[in-house]
Amino acid sequence: MSIGTLTILITVLVTAAFAGLGIAYSTRSRIDAEGFLVSRNWAGGWIATATLVASVMGAWILFSPGETATWAGIVGLIGYAVGQAAPLLAFVVIGSRMRRLMPSGHSLTEFAWHRYGPFAYSLTVAIVVFYMFVFLAAELTGIALAINLIGGTSLIVSAIIVGGLTVLYTAYGGIRASLFTDAIQFTLIIPLLAIVLLALGFSLDWFGPALDVVREESGHLLSLSHGPGIELAFTLLIAVWAANMFHQGFWQRVYTVKDERTLRRGFLIAGLIVIPLILLIGYMGIVAIGEGVATPFDSVALFRLAQDALPDWALLTIVALALLLVMSSMDTLLNGISSALSADLAHFKPEWGGRTILRFSRATTALLIAPAIAIASQGYSVLYLFFIADLVCAAAVFPIFYGLYSKRVGQSAVVIAIVVGIIVGALFFPKSNFAAWNSIPWSGKTLVSFGTALGASTVLVVLADVVQRFFKIGTDYRFETLTDAVKPIRD
C-alpha cells in the first residue's frame, strides 16, 4: 500500500477504535447531567494525572514548540514549556480554593455569576467559549494539515473523520468518556513519542552533526541570551498561563477528582510532566534547522525532519501519535464548551431539570464540530485569533480570580479593570500581519500588549479594593453563599 492509503487507514482505525471504546464504556452506567458535565469526585490519582496531561497535550505540541525553536531558540522554548505548565501549577492553589468555596460547582462561569453578577458573568462566558473554540479549530486544523503533509489526504476528509468520530463518543458519554479515553491515550502517547524521538536519534547520529551546523551558522538558537527568544519566552508565559486559566476542561477536572489532595497532586504532576515533553519535542525544531530541512517560523518543522530522516513505518507512528494527541484534547474542548454553556442552565432554567440539560449538552457538543470542521478544511492559520483570545485573557485573569480571595472587590471594579486592560493592551496589539497599527512606541509588540493588559487590570482592581476598604465602601462578600447557591443538577 502507498503511504497515503496507509495514512488514511490508520486515521480511520485509530479514531473509530476510540469512538467505540468511549461509547462502550459510557453504556456501562446511566448518564445524567451531573455525570455528563463533571462526574463529580470520581477520578483517582492516576486518571487525574493522565487526563490532565492528555487534555493539555494536543496536536499543537507537534507543531508550535518546534516552530518556536526554529527562530526563538532554546530560551523561547523554555518560556513555552514553563508557560504551558504554569496554569496547571496555578490550579494546585486556585483550583483547591474554588473547590473548597464552591464544592458543588461545575464551571468558572458559575463562580463569576454568583461572586460578581451578570456583566462579569457574560464576559467570562464569552472568554471561555471564544478561547476554547479557537483551540478546538486549531487542533482540527493541525491534524488535517499533518495528515495532508504525510499522506496527501484532503483537509476536509481528515477533518470530517477525526472531528466526526471524536464528537460521536464525546456527545454520548460526556466527561466520563473523555476521562476513560484520556487514560488510554496517555498510556500510548508516551511510548509512541519515545519511539519517534529514538528513531530520529538513531537516524541522525543523535543530532550531533545537525547541532554542529547550528552552532556555526545559527548559534543564537542555542544561546540563553537570545533577545527575541527572551521576549517570546515572557510573552508566552503571560499568554499561555492567562488563557489556560479560562480552560473549562481544567475547571471540570477540579470537581471530577476524588478530593482536594488528588487535585493538588494531579495538577502538580501534570505540570511537571509537560515541561520536559515540550522541551524534547520542540528541540527537534532546532535539529531541523541544522539538517537544512526547515526555515525559521516553520510550523511543520518536526514533520519535515521526520519525512527527511525516517522510514514510512516511523511516519505512520507519528500519524498515530498525532491522532491520539488531537482526540485527547478535542474531546476535552468539546465537552468543556458544552459544560460552560450548560452548567448555568440550572440557574437560568430551573424548570428544565437534569434530563433537559443533558439533551441540551449533547446537542451543543454535536453542533460545535460543524464550524470547527469548516475552518479546518480551509487550512487557515488561527494564530492571530489565539493572540486576540490571549489579550482578553491577560486583561481578565487577575480581576476574575482576585475575587476568590478579596471579599470587598465587586462587579463594577472587575468589569472596569478588564475593559481598561483590554483597551490598554489593544494600543500595542499588532495587526493581522503582526505589524504595528499606530505610531505609539512599542506598538505591535505582543509582550508589551499582554504585559500592559495584565498590569493595568491588576493595578486597577487592587486599587479599587484598597479604596473600598479604606473608605468602607460596599460590603464584604460572604463566600459561604457560594456553597448555598450552587447545587448539583438534579433530574
Distance CA 339, CA 354 (A): 13
| Cell output for 97 | 480554593
Q: Where are the domains of the chain?
A: 3-383
One-letter identity of residue 482? L
Rounded Cα gap, residues 245 and 467, in angstroms: 27
Nine-digit cell string for 461: 482592581
Report yes or no: 323 and 10 within 8 Å, Cβ to Cβ.
yes
Contact 285, 302 (CB under 8 A): yes
Cα distances from 116 to residues 342, 412, 413, 449, in angstroms, run 19, 8, 10, 26
pLDDT at 488: 87
Q: Are 197 and 321 in contact (CB under 8 A)?
A: no
Helix axes 155-203, 260-291, angle to 10 degrees: 80
CA-CA-CA-CA dihedral for 444, 446, 450, 456, to nearest 10: -30
Q: Report DSSP state, residue 59.
A: G
pLDDT at position 450? 97
CA 171 to CA 338: how far, in whole Å? 9
The CA-based angle 436-438-442, given to 5 degrees, is 60
Phi, psi (deg, nearest 5) at residue 220: -60, -25
Asked if residues 376 and 369 have their Cβ atoms less than 8 Å apart, the reply is: no
DSSP state of 440: S
What local confidence, expressed as pLDDT, does residue 29 receive?
Answer: 83
Quick one: cell of 341? 454553556
3-state secondary structure of 112: helix
Q: What confidence score (pLDDT) does residue 381 get?
A: 76
Tell me, rounded to whole angstroms, the distance of Cα 439 from its chain centroid: 33
For the beta carbon of residue 25, count every other beta carbon within 10 angstroms.
17
CATH superfamily of 3-383: Sodium/glucose cotransporter (1.20.1730.10)
Spatial separation of the C-alpha atoms in residues 151 and 145, rounded to whole Å: 10
pLDDT at 216: 95
Q: What is the pLDDT along the chain (491 residues), one digit of tens a residue?
A: 788 899 999 999 999 999 999 999 999 888 888 889 999 998 888 899 999 999 888 888 998 999 999 999 999 999 999 999 999 999 999 999 999 999 999 999 999 999 999 999 999 999 999 999 999 999 999 999 889 988 889 999 999 999 999 999 999 999 999 999 999 999 999 999 999 999 999 999 999 999 999 999 999 999 999 999 999 999 999 999 999 999 999 999 999 999 999 999 999 999 999 999 999 999 999 999 999 999 998 888 999 999 999 999 999 999 999 999 999 999 999 999 999 888 887 777 777 777 888 999 999 999 999 999 999 998 887 778 889 999 999 999 999 999 999 999 999 999 999 999 999 999 999 988 788 988 899 999 999 999 999 999 999 999 999 999 988 888 899 999 999 888 888 87
Biggest CA-to-CA distance, the chain: 77
Backbone angles phi, psi at 257, to 5 degrees: -70, 155
What pLDDT is recorded for position 485? 87
Question: Grid coordinates in use for 490?
Answer: 438534579
pLDDT of residue 432: 82
Contact predicate 15/140, CB 8 Å: no
Q: CA angle, 314 as apex, 151 and 19 as ends, to 5°?
A: 65
Query: Residue 456: what pLDDT?
Result: 98
DSSP states along 175-230: HHHHHHHHHHHHHHHHHHHHHHHHHHHHHTGGGHHHHHHHHHH-GGGG-TT-HHHH
